[in-house]
A and B are shown apart, each in its own frame.
Chain A
């Protein structure tokens, strides 16, 4: 079956630091890959996505590249802000149907 593994948190960074949250996946076929973000007290929001190998998803300064050879979709941001503090979920889907989520990584950015 499909599965997603992402680095455990929490991750604590100073403002303007570089962020990497690792994510690897196991899936049959060619899934779409997603990063979702959950801000405190809110539901999930789609942050970015990539639908095929070598695609780069990007949004709000965050980027992730679909690497089929390493089955990875690492999330990066060059300079984090306090407002980026949230829980980040890596996920995959075979379509717009069931989504398999990773366990989430809590990011805390301190001023």
Chain B
């Protein structure tokens, strides 16, 4: 089946630094990528939607300058958390679709900001 590879699976960084999370679609062309955030004991909240070659569309309340999303190719999308702070600690997960099949999720990235 279709696979989305997400890296890193976990990362610890110091407050003020930036962290990049990559999602690659391995056997399909992800025309659209969705980025979600999951707080403990809560559901996944959609952060942004990115279409290949276009600027991402952010959900209300999500700071686009803090969460930079790049979707430069049909197989790669990145989320960069800039100037990370402890409140950014969360589980981030991507999903991709080629619009011909349901979403395929990555395994997620556990970010801890100290």
Contact = CB atoms under 8 A, between A and B. Distances in A.
**B interface, how many residues as a size bin?**
20 to 34
A59 interface: no
Size category of the binding interface on chain A? 10 to 19
Contacts of A99: 34, 46, 95, 103
Contacts of B101: 96
Contacts of B95: 44, 99
Interface stretch (B12-20, B77-85, B104-112): B104-112
Interface string B88-114: 000001010101111101111000000
Contact of A103 (B6, B42, B100, B108): B42
Contact of A42 (B42, B43, B44, B107): B107
Interface of A: 4, 34, 36, 41-46, 49, 89, 96-99, 101-104
Given A43-B105, A43-B107, 4 more contacts: A42-B107, A42-B108, A43-B93, A104-B41
